[in-house]
Amino acid sequence: MHLGRVVGSIVATRKDERLLGHKLLLVQKLKPAKGGELAPSKGSGEFVVSVDLVGAGTGELVLYTSGSSARNAASESYDNPIDAAIIGIVDQTDIDERVLVL
């Protein structure tokens, strides 16, 4: 599982029929930072398009999974073209910055 913040939505009127009915959200990957906060991850994989399974909205801190775990969470069959799925909305994080390697 990964932590991220929903930064927007994706509208695709033409898409694979197995994605019909699924809301697509743009999630910015997060990582622990100094001060016990969460900061945007830097690099080529900084954002991910995710299928929303829990009713998340823009600005919310979420848990998402990727790969076969995302396909399994979104459907009982493994043939869905899903690489990332939002599986939880985070209420609170507690980070012990003494154990962080920054």
Has residue 32 got a pLDDT over 60?
yes
Write down the domain spans for the chain.
1-11+21-55
> What's residue 96's pLDDT?
74
Confidence band (pLDDT; 50, 70, 90) for 35? Answer: confident
Confidence band (pLDDT; 50, 70, 90) for 77? Answer: low
Rounded to an integer, what distance in angstroms lies between the CA atom of residue 19 and that of residue 25? Answer: 13
> What's residue 99's pLDDT?
61
> What's residue 29's pLDDT?
94
| Average pLDDT, rounded, for the chain | 86
